Structure 1
Amino acid sequence: MNESHRIQSLFTDLYHGHPWIDVTLEDTLSRITAEQAAQRPIKNGNTIWEIVNHMIAWRKNVLKRVQGEVLETPSNNYIEKIKDTSEEAWQQTLETLERTQKEWLYFLSTFNEADFINKYPVNKLTYYQHIHGILQHDAYHLGQIVLLAKITNP
């Protein structure tokens, strides 16, 4: 198995497989309602929904970076208030997250491993570091979501 396939496995496991941390994005988020996702149980904290949108935006950002695009990170770090808190809008958010999952898996299946050493010019980190970084980012925020879900639905 080559490195791209190993990384694909990490993406798959964290999303809906059997990761070492024993929780997945899909399983965790599938049990959260729009109402729960929109709650702000910690003053000045983020909602589950804001975190999921933040994850989606960073997944897209890093994917573009490792495809050679140079981007500016917005000052809000992709954290925005949710305007439509309907169940339909929540389902659309989850579908968008799933779409980013498919985009990452496709990218990794076609990625030239010689490009792992390429550096993103803004922060000088390699593509390899960026790819592992987005996995770490997802796991970090999944932990937050798990905790927020416990607070909002005890």
Structure 2
Amino acid sequence: MKETLRMTSLFEKLYNGSPWIDVNLYDTLSPLSAAQAADRVVPQLNTIWEIVNHLISWRENVLQRIQGKVISTPDHNYFKPVNNTSAAAWKKTLAQLATSQENWQQLLQTYPKADLEKIYPNNQMNYYEHIQGILQHDAYHLGQIVLLAKLVKQKL
């Protein structure tokens, strides 16, 4: 199987399939209300919504990197407060996550295998490592989201 197809499969499973970790982003996030996503259930931690925005931003960042754009990571590392916590804004955030998923799927379907070995100048990692890294990043933060969602639901 072509390596980019394997990665496409991993993205699909982690977003809305049956990944090895038994939870996916869509099934974890879609039942949550805007109030639940915005709830800072533990004062020192990010909210679910802030984590989702962080995921979207990093997905977009790495997507641009592996297409040749050199990007500096902002000081806030894509963790920013959510100012509009309406149901419509939460729906828009989930749509942005879905769009980032579609963008990854489209890119990987035609991504040249040779480009996986290209080196990103800011960190000297190849593009394959960046793609695997964003999958690991999503899984890491999905674990946080699952825990926060359990805490939020217990408050009800």
Distance 1:49 1:60 in 2: 17
Percent identical:
55
2:78 aligned counterpart, secondary structure = coil
Which amino acid is the alignment partner of residue 54 of structure 1?
H
Distance 1:33 1:135 in 2: 25
Number of residue pairs the alignment of both structures matches: 154
| Residues 95-126 of structure 1, C-alpha deviations (whole Å, 9 max, x = no match) | 00000000000000010000111010000000
Which amino acid is the alignment partner of residue 134 of structure 2?
I
Distance 1:60 1:82 in 2: 18
TM-score relative to the length of structure 2: 0.98
How many Å apart are 1:19 and its aligned residue? 0.4
Which amino acid is the alignment partner of residue 22 of structure 2?
D
Distance 1:58 1:129 in 2: 14
Distance 1:8 1:27 in 2: 19
Q: Quote the residue 1:11 is aligned against.
A: 11
Q: State the superposition RMSD in angstroms.
A: 0.5
TM superposition outliers: structure 1 runs of 4+ over 2 Å: none
Q: Quote the residue 1:104 is aligned against.
A: 104
Q: Quote the residue 1:152 is aligned against.
A: 152
Counterparts of 1:1-150 in structure 2 under 5 Å? 1-150=1-150
How many Å apart are 1:72 and its aligned residue? 1.1
1:68 aligned counterpart, secondary structure = coil
1:73 aligned counterpart, secondary structure = coil
What stretches of structure 1 of length at least 5 have no aligned partner? none
Distance 2:126 2:32 in 1: 35
What stretches of structure 2 of length at least 5 have no aligned partner? none
2:142 aligned counterpart, secondary structure = helix
1:153 aligned counterpart, secondary structure = helix
Distance 1:22 1:51 in 2: 20
Distance 1:20 1:45 in 2: 26
Which amino acid is the alignment partner of residue 125 of structure 2?
L
1:4 aligned counterpart, secondary structure = helix
Which amino acid is the alignment partner of residue 87 of structure 2?
E
Q: Which moved more, 1:133-142 or 1:38-47?
A: 38-47
Distance 2:50 2:5 in 1: 30
